[in-house]
Chain A
Amino acid sequence: MNTATDTGTIARTIEGFKVRAAEEGLLDVAYTTADSPFGPLLLASTRRGLVRVGLPNQDSEELLADLAERVSPRVLEAPGELDEARRELDLYFDGKLDHFDLPLDWRLSGGFRQRVLRAIDRIPYGQTRTYTEMARRAGNERAVRAAGSACGSNPIPLVVPCHRVLRTGGALGGYGGGLPMKQALLELEGVLGGTSSS
């Protein structure tokens, strides 16, 4: 028995397997990594749409293990499934796209958190809102801390623009990708750090 194998043939065979898996409807979670000015992003989608964006400072292995547990263990690297997401993000980072047109899969957030995130999804490019406003739009104005934690747990950052949510008074608040990234995104969108246009 010879276990010395030609990696090229294996790679080709694996590609063929993935095509067949997708055709058979077995590709529950597809993922890839994409370059960004901030470092590599992890992008993951289901048949419903984009389900997870991992920021450069987040551990991809952990995110994938979490997807395996919470969505489906049928998780496969399949860059082709994320071509459109990657294309739109590239344009966004180049300042050439002010509205993502991607189907989203919200299943990783439930209840109040999902309502907060859906409200955040409607904040236009280049504008900011406060955590208080987001809490109100999600149906509970007093749940400001919960709204903040919903932002912090946003599974689809960048595309669902939680970086556009600031503290009342204009302080940056927090960001899963680190405050310098939040600041840079707001600058990219033409919002100066510390000024709120809401």
Chain B
Amino acid sequence: MTPLPPFQNVLDEHSAAVMGILRGAVGRDGAEDCFQETFLAALRAYPRLDDASNLRGWLLTIAHRKAIDFHRAKGRAPIPVAEVPEEAAENGLPEPDQGLWDAVGALPPKQRAAVALRYGSDLPHAEIAAALGCSPEAARRSLHEGLKRLRKELA
């Protein structure tokens, strides 16, 4: 078992990545609050963490959960999407797609996380697998299942 490094090291090494991803997922205004919520949740759980070998994936998973909470609370997009809607937006920004958002939020946890990590954070399958603690094949399968379900839900 890898010993847990001081939490300050975790913060130093991963804060820029977490902030970058959150800005992408919830925008600049929401990112600071989500960032604090992410690291507070991480700090709370940290002493009980079994495996320190993929702290980045662990943090990104928490960050995505916080981004989902943020969107739920706000009830609006932008959200990680598989495909950009084709309709033109009035002000040059994509229209919030609440239907897609609800569908992503309703996916089973693994599928939801796989979709968010793939399209929200642009992570390759290997890193999604590490974040979810499964094999790359299983990650690919979760992603595939998640997308299939979204297509069906939104058809």
Task: Tell me, in angstroms, the Cα distance from A105 to B120 when the chains sit together.
Answer: 45
Q: Does A102 contact B (CB under 8 A)?
A: no
Please give me the residue from chain B that is nearest to A75 by CB atom.
B6
Of B6, B20, B40, which one neighbours A26 at CB under 8 angstroms? B40
Of B7, B20, B32, B39, which one neighbours A1 at CB under 8 angstroms? B20
Q: Does A20 contact B (CB under 8 A)?
A: yes
Task: Tell me, in angstroms, the Cα distance from A28 to B5 when the chains sit together.
Answer: 14
Of B4, B15, B19, which one neighbours A73 at CB under 8 angstroms? B4
Question: Do residues B40 and A73 form an inter-chain contact, with CB atoms below 8 A?
Answer: no
Question: Do residues B24 and A1 form an inter-chain contact, with CB atoms below 8 A?
Answer: yes
| Per-residue contact bits, chain A 59-90, to B (CB 8 Å; 1 contact, 0 not) | 00000110111001111110000000000000
Of A16, A24, A75, which one neighbours B7 at CB under 8 angstroms? A75
Mark out the residues of chain A between 1 and 28 whose CB falls within 8 Å of any chain B CB in the assembled complex: 1-5, 9-10, 12-14, 16-17, 20-21, 24, 26
Question: Do residues A17 and B24 form an inter-chain contact, with CB atoms below 8 A?
Answer: no
Please indicate the chain A residues that have their CB under 8 angstroms from the CB of B56 in the complex.
none
Question: Do residues B11 and A76 form an inter-chain contact, with CB atoms below 8 A?
Answer: yes
Q: Please tell me which stretch of B42-50, B83-91, B93-101, B142-150 contacts chain A, meaning at least 4 of its Cβ atoms lie within 8 angstroms of it.
A: B42-50
Please give me the residue from chain B that is nearest to A19 by CB atom.
B36
Task: Tell me, in angstroms, the Cα distance from A152 to B16 when the chains sit together.
Answer: 40
Task: Tell me, in angstroms, the Cα distance from A2 to B21 when the chains sit together.
Answer: 7
Question: Do residues B8 and A77 form an inter-chain contact, with CB atoms below 8 A?
Answer: yes
Question: Do residues A26 and B17 form an inter-chain contact, with CB atoms below 8 A?
Answer: no
Question: Do residues B36 and A16 form an inter-chain contact, with CB atoms below 8 A?
Answer: yes
Residue among B8, B20, B32 facing the most chain A CB atoms (10 A cut-off) = B8
| Per-residue contact bits, chain B 1-14, to A (CB 8 Å; 1 contact, 0 not) | 00111111101000
Question: Do residues A17 and B47 form an inter-chain contact, with CB atoms below 8 A?
Answer: no
Question: Do residues B46 and A65 form an inter-chain contact, with CB atoms below 8 A?
Answer: no
Of B3, B8, B35, which one neighbours A75 at CB under 8 angstroms? B8
Task: Tell me, in angstroms, the Cα distance from A99 to B17 when the chains sit together.
Answer: 46
Q: Does B121 contact A (CB under 8 A)?
A: yes
Task: Say how far A71's CB is from chain B's closest CB, in angstroms.
Answer: 10
Question: Do residues B122 and A1 form an inter-chain contact, with CB atoms below 8 A?
Answer: yes
Question: Do residues A17 and B6 form an inter-chain contact, with CB atoms below 8 A?
Answer: no
Whether A5 contacts B6 in the complex (CB less than 8 A), given A20-B40, A21-B40, comes out as: no
Whether A26 contacts B36 in the complex (CB less than 8 A), given A4-B20, A68-B5, A73-B6, comes out as: no
Please give me the residue from chain A that is nearest to B44 by CB atom.
A26
Whether A73 contacts B47 in the complex (CB less than 8 A), given A2-B23, A3-B21, A5-B20, comes out as: yes
Please indicate the chain A residues that have their CB under 8 angstroms from the CB of B44 in the complex.
24, 26
Q: Which residues of B contact A (CB under 8 A)?
A: 3-9, 11, 15-17, 19-21, 23-24, 32, 35-36, 39-40, 43-44, 46-47, 120-122
Q: Which residues of A contact B (CB under 8 A)?
A: 1-5, 9-10, 12-14, 16-17, 20-21, 24, 26, 29, 31, 64-65, 67-69, 72-77
> What are 21 inter-chain pairs, A to B, with CB distance below 8 A?
A1-B24, A1-B120, A1-B121, A4-B20, A5-B16, A9-B19, A9-B32, A13-B32, A14-B15, A14-B39, A16-B36, A21-B40, A26-B40, A65-B3, A65-B6, A67-B6, A68-B4, A73-B6, A73-B46, A74-B7, A74-B46
